[in-house]
Amino acid sequence: MGYKFLSGTCLVSNIYETFTGLLAAAGWQNISSKPATDYEVWYSSGGQGNKRLIIQLRKDSNSNVGYRFIADYTPGAAGGGGTIQRTTAGWRSCRFFSNAFASSYPQSNQVSYKYHANKDRLIFYCEATYLDVTMYNGVIYLGSPDVMYHNEPGSKSLCLLAGGNYSYSNYYGDISDALDGRITSSDTIYCSPTYIGGSYTDITKSPSPQGNYVFTPHYVKDGNNDLRGKLTGLYIIYAKGALHGDIVKIGTRSFYLAMMTGSYGFFRTSTVAEYITFLAFEV
């Protein structure tokens, strides 16, 4: 199963509003009854109508999204504050694009983005170029994995995974670990290369002598439950002779290759000799 990504542009100052606007257009609802104290509370019943995915979001800055996993939320009456069910989950933050100086990035600059959105997830990939020289890319995956390997009722399967991200020194991502909104420690969330062999260099190299490219899907696991789920719309390619922005054709399908900035994040780039890992998705 895969899905195609659409494209758009927006100003740096409007990235957060673009991100949440895509959630709304895909069928998620902001059910917050008092934004001044509860911020935004985004809810979705999922594509099959059998989930209760729920998360608090806020605009930490023009380049950062703040988020907090919660178990449930009941809106208040007549504009009053709602009832938030949670225990240990606190507010965290991640950046839309990788830039150690994101706060000073020109807010009037235009950024390009590609996205896939439905009632289960929003995948938001952003490209920002500074002075036409330095490229800062980032991707945020908010939602439930396509394939789950455990019973994950309510909002338990909800993930926020990021790449090209400097918010935390060893940031991989968060996944809701219990019905009370607790999150799994960020340093125990991994992607598929760690799971299948220990490093990106264990992935089959592309292209093959026949010119074929090998796509590796991402998996989510943690230290408590091991393998939790699989993301089937984002892939890793460990390629030689490829460049950022290249299009790989497989039959009638086209895949965009994105080189993630920085070595941290759930989706990240590693370079060994002439081989570079790229994030790949269908366009």
pLDDT digits (tens, 9 = 90+) for 169-178: 334 567 776 5
Answer yes or no: is pLDDT of 7 > 80: yes
Q: Could you tell me which residue, 268 or 44, shows the higher pLDDT? A: 44
Answer yes or no: is pLDDT of 207 > 80: no
DSSP state letter for 241: S
Average pLDDT over residues 211-227: 73
Q: Which residue has the tokens 């799971």?
A: 195
pLDDT band at 167 (very low <50, low <70, confident <90, very high): very low
Neighbours of 78 (CB within 10 A): 5
Range of 122-126, 194-198, 262-266 with top mean pLDDT:
122-126
Please tell me the predicted confidence (pLDDT) of residue 157.
78
pLDDT, the chain, mean: 77
Q: What strands, in cross-sheet order, belong to the sheet with 173-175?
A: 6-11, 110-117, 121-130, 134-143, 159-163, 173-175
**Residue 102 identity (one-letter amino acid):** A
Answer yes or no: is pLDDT of 132 > 90: no
Spatial separation of the C-alpha atoms in residues 222 and 101, rounded to whole Å: 31
Spatial separation of the C-alpha atoms in residues 96 and 140, rounded to whole Å: 7
Mean pLDDT is lowest, of 27-31, 144-148, 188-192, 259-263, for: 188-192
* CB 43, CB 32: distance < 8 Å: no
Please tell me the predicted confidence (pLDDT) of residue 192.
41
Q: What is the 3-state secondary structure (H, E, C) of 87-155?
A: CCCCCEEEECCCCCCHHHCCCCCEEEEEEEECCCEEEEEEEEEECCCEEEEEEEEEECCCEECCCCCCC
| Domain ranges within the chain, ordered by starting residue | 6-282
pLDDT band at 279 (very low <50, low <70, confident <90, very high): confident
Please tell me the predicted confidence (pLDDT) of residue 116.
95
Q: Could you tell me which residue, 20 or 249, shows the higher pLDDT? A: 20
Please tell me the predicted confidence (pLDDT) of residue 262.
55
Mean pLDDT is lowest, of 32-46, 77-91, 140-154, 218-232, for: 218-232
Neighbours of 75 (CB within 10 A): 15
Please tell me the predicted confidence (pLDDT) of residue 201.
47
Range of 226-235, 242-251, 257-266 with top mean pLDDT:
242-251
Spatial separation of the C-alpha atoms in residues 278 and 282, rounded to whole Å: 13
Mean pLDDT is lowest, of 16-30, 82-96, 220-234, for: 220-234
What token pair was written down for 188? 């125990």
Spatial separation of the C-alpha atoms in residues 208 and 217, rounded to whole Å: 18
pLDDT band at 225 (very low <50, low <70, confident <90, very high): low
